[in-house]
Amino acid sequence: MKRKNDTPSAVLLVDDEVAILDFLEIALKDKFEVFIKASSSKAALKDFEEKKPDLVILDLNLGGDSGLDLLDRLQSVDPEVPVIVSTGEKEDLAKDCLRRGAVDFLTKPVTSLRLVTSVDRALDAYQREKVLNQLQKSLLETSKRPQAFDSMLTVCNEMERLFQLAGVVATTPRDVLITGETGTGKDLMAKAIHDISGRPGEYVAVNVAGLDDNHFSDTLFGHLKGSFTGATRDRQGLVEKARGGTLFLDEIGDLSIPSQVKLLRLLQEREFLPIGSDEHVKVDIRFVVATSRPLDSMMEEGTFRRDLYFRLRAQQLHLPALRERRGDVSLLWEHFLERAASQLGRKAPRVSDEAIGVLEAHNLPGNVRELEALAFQAASAYKYLIEAQQMEGLVGGDTPKRLSSGESKEEDFWRVLPTVDEMIDRLILEALKRTEGNQTQAAKLIGMSRRGMISRMRRNHLDV
């Protein structure tokens, strides 16, 4: 077995018995070219960081050192390197070790056959993971996001995949439905789709929420002079203005049923009737529509037309809420804070890690738009440093009272609202419970890095 860069494959053997280290080397001499031996946690950790082995075989009984603690430290340095643990104790530690990230558990005395089988299995899984990561990286490099999406900052893989899908959708002539909560960037997505489409006409956007049926017709279709009282001149509608281009209709879930009928005819026939005119006008136009409301539920309730819904959902893009991509919060915050400070003619204040933690734990119901507003507030209110207390004030008012030590029931927990810190700890514990102690899956479930979650658990003495 060779590494990708053709350097010899290496294994780190950790045991405080020289005879065991020699046995392991002899048993695995056909598997590795480099054997790194360590008899203490300190030496093992140093070798792991400096020599970067492909595999670790770790004895849990290292004299005065704890093999479990070392396992945690190895995982925090590089969770991708497989670790096989072994012990001479009869107690059942296997489940605990596997939860902490070990790939296999061996009970001494270990036979050569059992050892080689375990190592083969671990290395196969390691190599498959490497290949998959390489393939994913290659795919991303060959299908990078279109430049039109550069205004939508993200480090979220789901968003990157959405950009690639939107790039494909944009090149078709079909209309597009964009769904997502308020403030997720549906307008930016619509504009990007127009830019990629290459349509020669204008991009025209209108929020139709609050337009009654008459205003909807007048806004989209326009009118002729004298068609009603106050119509002193011809007025061109937005459909005509967007001829050859894209018309973006935001919040179509708020349209009345009569307006929905008119929109459906417009989508089907690509023609409209200006108010006061007897002649239909044909138009070449691409429609992108958006809503923050659940159209499928509205359809079942009878407040949104079934035929319109099924026509629109043929090409649908859904923008996830910011709480579903918490990794983007700090990136977007830094961008908005710098921009707000620049607008105010000052330097952006520094933000502590604890303050960022408070922000990431906040629900952010207004999504990116709310985050942008909070950043402007922060740049206006603070010149030098924003710490956790100031951030709590920004995102949720005064700090709520802490729970007393005697309150542990679910109803007590919610009777007095927890602090953000307490909520994060509770989220971690709940995620670990749901994943049966799998730290990698638990961290992914709540949008934290595994290293950050483990660090917090140790700091706050969270008992799983």
**CA distances in angstroms from 280 to 237, 266, 271, 272, listed in the order given:** 13, 11, 6, 5
- As given in the structure block, the two tokens for residue 188 are 């930016």
d(CA 172, CA 199) in angstroms, rounded, equals 11
Tell me the pLDDT band of 399, cut-offs 50, 70 and 90.
very low
Q: What is the CA radius of gyration of the chain?
A: 30
Residue ranges of the chain assigned to CATH 1.10.10.60: 410-459
**How confident is the model at residue 133, as a pLDDT?**
60
d(CA 357, CA 423) in angstroms, rounded, equals 11
**How confident is the model at residue 194, as a pLDDT?**
95
Bond before 109 cis per omega within 30 degrees: yes
d(CA 149, CA 315) in angstroms, rounded, equals 18
d(CA 75, CA 90) in angstroms, rounded, equals 24
Q: Which CATH class is domain 324-396?
A: mainly alpha
Return the beta strands (E) in 97-215 as ranges.
Answer: 104-107, 176-179, 203-207
Share of the chain above pLDDT 70, in %: 87
- As given in the structure block, the two tokens for residue 374 are 């909070």
Per-residue model confidence as pLDDT tens digits over 2-50: 444 444 589 999 998 899 999 999 999 888 889 999 988 889 999 999 9
Per-residue model confidence as pLDDT tens digits over 192-224: 999 999 999 999 999 999 889 999 999 999 999
**How confident is the model at residue 128, as a pLDDT?**
67
* Pairing mode of beta strands 61-62, 246-250: unpaired
Q: Please tell me the CATH code under which domain 147-320 is placed.
A: 3.40.50.300
d(CA 216, CA 264) in angstroms, rounded, equals 13
Residue ranges of the chain assigned to CATH 1.10.8.60: 324-396
Q: What is the mean pLDDT of the chain?
A: 84
Give the architecture (CATH level 2) of 10-138. 3-Layer(aba) Sandwich (3.40)
| Mean predicted confidence (pLDDT) in 380-399 | 81
DSSP summary character for residue 65: E
Residue ranges of the chain assigned to CATH 3.40.50.300: 147-320
Q: Give the strands of the sheet with 203-207, arranged side by side.
A: 203-207, 246-250, 286-291, 176-179, 316-318
Spatial contact of 37 and 7, defined as CB atoms under 8 Å apart: no
Whether 410 has a pLDDT exceeding 50, the answer reads no
Burial of 385 (0-12, 13-18, 19+ CB in 10 A): exposed
| Mean predicted confidence (pLDDT) in 295-318 | 90
Residue ranges of the chain assigned to CATH 3.40.50.2300: 10-138
Spatial contact of 157 and 328, defined as CB atoms under 8 Å apart: no
Look-up of token digits 């209110």: 381
pTM of the entire structure?
Answer: 0.56
Question: How many residues are there in the chain?
Answer: 464
- As given in the structure block, the two tokens for residue 13 are 């053997």
Per-residue model confidence as pLDDT tens digits over 353-389: 888 988 988 888 999 999 999 999 999 989 888 998 8
The CATH homologous superfamily of the domain defined by 410-459: Homeodomain-like (1.10.10.60)
Return the beta strands (E) in 67-125 as ranges.
Answer: 83-87, 104-107
Per-residue b or e along 158-180, where b marks 16 or more CB atoms closer than 10 Å to that residue's CB? ebbebbbebbebbeeeebbbbbb
d(CA 430, CA 421) in angstroms, rounded, equals 14
φ/ψ (deg, to 5) at 260: -60, -40
